[in-house]
Chains A and B, each alone.
Chain A
Amino acid sequence: MTHRGPLRCLPPTRWLVPVLALLASAALAQDVLAAGPSGYAPAPVLSPGDYPAIRGLSPRLAVWFAAQMHVWFAAFVLAVPIFAVILEFVGVVKKDARYDRVAYEFLRVSITAFSLTAVTGGILLAALIVFYPDLMKYLASIFGPTALFYALFFFFETAALYTYYYGWKRMAEGRLKLLHLAVGIGLNLSGTGLMFVANAWVTFMMTPAGVDAAGAFGGNVWEAVNNHLWSPMNLHRFVANIAYGGSIAGAYAAYRFLGASSEEGRAHYDWMGYTASLIAIGALLPLPFAGYWLTAEIYSFSQQMGITLMGGVFAWLFIVQAVIIGALFLAANYYLWCGFGRGGYGAGYLKYVKYIAVVVAASFLVWFTPHTLILTPSEARAIGGQYHPYLGPLGLMPAKNTAVNMMLLFTFLSFLLYRRAHRRPVVPWVKYGNALQAGLFTAAVANISFLGVYYGYFTNTVYKVASSVPQVATTLFVIVACLVIEWLMARGGRSEDFKWGRMPERSQYALILIAVSFTWLMGLMGFVRSAIRQHWHVYSVMKDASAEAFTPSIAYAAKVVSAGTVVFLAIIVFIFWLGGMGQEKEAGGDG
């Protein structure tokens, strides 16, 4: 491998974009500041003629596609360094070189994606300036100073990234290793800071703050940055990025596992895939709570916006979301069940799989049952109305909350059994410990069902919403309590190492399915978040007067997002292929 100085190896895409962003923002801000006597003009009132047009090109589609590509790549490259540092740290503490090797490999896979993130960011910026100049001028008049932070974070992130990556082998021992870890932490802090700045621009467009009713800026940039959605969006994107990065890294491991020719290679990529999927699913579990906060803030800012999100036409996309997340959970469970074979005691637990599968599949079906059906008049007459007489109640939120909690509980049960596959507890109270855990699960299932059925169908709306809190608390309690009991039972127990690589090939397709589901889900739900602004550039203060200022049909949105998913994943496969070539070259050079 060739080691080069960090600055000499910076590709132009890494420094050109922040410089362009800074210059464009400064130029646009100056333009607007000159326009008003008080310094800050109200939001411009536009007409269709204010939007430049290029024949045969849809401005909305161009910006949508570029933004979507940028967000997918950005999510991946922000997440990988987070768990690379965590794995490197674990490797240092445990003195286990496997963690270090996997962390380095994760980072190597993402390094090509860094340049593509910058390229797609540049395309997005150019598309916005070309097609929506007045909107960009208005935003720059408010957020001009934040572009400086963006550029600074970008430079720090780039410098830290290349030092972290190219210094990995040179800074492998003693104090240099600690310094290397510190550089990794710096890389993550600057990457997260970068995302927070961009989130401020996006969330301002949804829930503007620091401006009056006409959109005239009051002069306090922090007020505009710290708008209603900024903090929940920061949290939601931070957690979601980790889940997404884990899923893409898991798909990479699966790709390499399927192509591995040696037992050692299969073992390595099996372990890598397991670690990545554990990170992905681990980050997925708290994501609904961050999403809950984000949605609550949307409702708190504008009930109308909240109703558009959950009760209008977009509600159908939540059904699609349920299908995709349900598929994701089924894939995660299937992967864990296949993993029973890695441990010596796993065969004894296979008999429970069919029961868990029934519960997970039933919960999945309840989760995506729609409340209002799209029916022809004759179909509606046949079932006696718009709602199905028996399945209609399953379309309501209490049923879905109950189903989601059941799915989480039983996925956790799969994980517990998976861990037992290589560990046999020998404490004298094993039978009582098992009875305690079985009792805990039984009581939790009863409590979640009671809360869902009684408060969901025999009380009013306030209780229906409120009962979801103890439902989630019950699930979390079971997870924590079971892990504590499991830890106490495992003391002094017999355990044997997992036999990594002893996985059927079909299990790896579950990892690929998880990555595809995440990508699709992000695209679809990202569309919903953005589209609830409807015909506003900046909600309630700056109207979109372009010819495309209407909400597209769900089918159109699904086609755009699906096409984006295919293009993005094709590029990712290309990156995987490049990553494999780099590793072969490195192995040849080193060896």
Chain B
Amino acid sequence: MALEAGSVAMQEQNSALRMKTTLAFIASVLGFGALFLVLDLLLFNAQGLSFVFKG
């Protein structure tokens, strides 16, 4: 009985960790994605171009 409870607790713990890791991955994609967009903007500006192409 105690063994079963331990196993369930471990499964819950693993599931929580997986959830947190997935969230960390999503946050880092969004965070680095935003950082790269800022970097793009600065590098286009440094070349005398606007980041948004206006035809």
Smallest CB-CB separation from B32: which chain A residue?
A443
Smallest CB-CB separation from B34: which chain A residue?
A443
Q: Which 6 A-B pairs have the closest CB atoms?
A: A439-B28, A443-B32, A447-B36, A435-B24, A435-B25, A443-B33
Smallest CB-CB separation from B46: which chain A residue?
A469
For chain A, residues 458 to 479, give those with C-beta under 8 angstroms from any C-beta of chain B. Answer: 458-460, 462-463, 466-467, 469-470, 473-474, 477
A436 interfacial by beta-carbon distance below 8 Å? yes
Interface contact B24-A462, CB-CB below 8 Å: no
B39 interfacial by beta-carbon distance below 8 Å? yes
**Minimal beta-carbon separation of A128 from chain B (angstroms):** 42
Chain B's interface size range is 20 to 34
A309–B28 CA distance with the chains assembled, in angstroms: 42
For chain A, residues 394 to 451, give those with C-beta under 8 angstroms from any C-beta of chain B. Answer: 431-432, 434-436, 438-440, 442-444, 446-447, 451
Smallest CB-CB separation from A462: which chain B residue?
B49
**Minimal beta-carbon separation of B18 from chain A (angstroms):** 9
A462–B44 CA distance with the chains assembled, in angstroms: 11
- Residues of B contacting A446 with CB < 8 Å? 29, 33
**Minimal beta-carbon separation of A443 from chain B (angstroms):** 4
Q: How many A-B residue pairs have CB under 8 A?
A: 72
Residues of A within 8 A of B (CB): 431-432, 434-436, 438-440, 442-444, 446-447, 451, 455, 458-460, 462-463, 466-467, 469-470, 473-474, 477
Smallest CB-CB separation from A455: which chain B residue?
B53
Smallest CB-CB separation from A437: which chain B residue?
B28
A463–B25 CA distance with the chains assembled, in angstroms: 31
Interface contact A473-B39, CB-CB below 8 Å: yes
A38–B9 CA distance with the chains assembled, in angstroms: 96
Interface contact B36-A443, CB-CB below 8 Å: yes
Interface contact A432-B21, CB-CB below 8 Å: yes
Interface contact B53-A443, CB-CB below 8 Å: no
A462–B43 CA distance with the chains assembled, in angstroms: 13
Interface contact B24-A442, CB-CB below 8 Å: no
For chain B, residues 28 to 55, give those with C-beta under 8 angstroms from any C-beta of chain A. Answer: 28-33, 35-37, 39-40, 43-44, 47, 49, 53
B10 interfacial by beta-carbon distance below 8 Å? no
Give the residue of A431, A438, A460, A470 whose beta carbon is less than 8 angstroms from that of B40: A470
- Residues of A contacting B17 with CB < 8 Å? 431
Interface contact A447-B37, CB-CB below 8 Å: yes
A435–B26 CA distance with the chains assembled, in angstroms: 8
B27 interfacial by beta-carbon distance below 8 Å? yes
Give the residue of B29, B47, B53 whose beta carbon is less than 8 angstroms from that of A469: B47
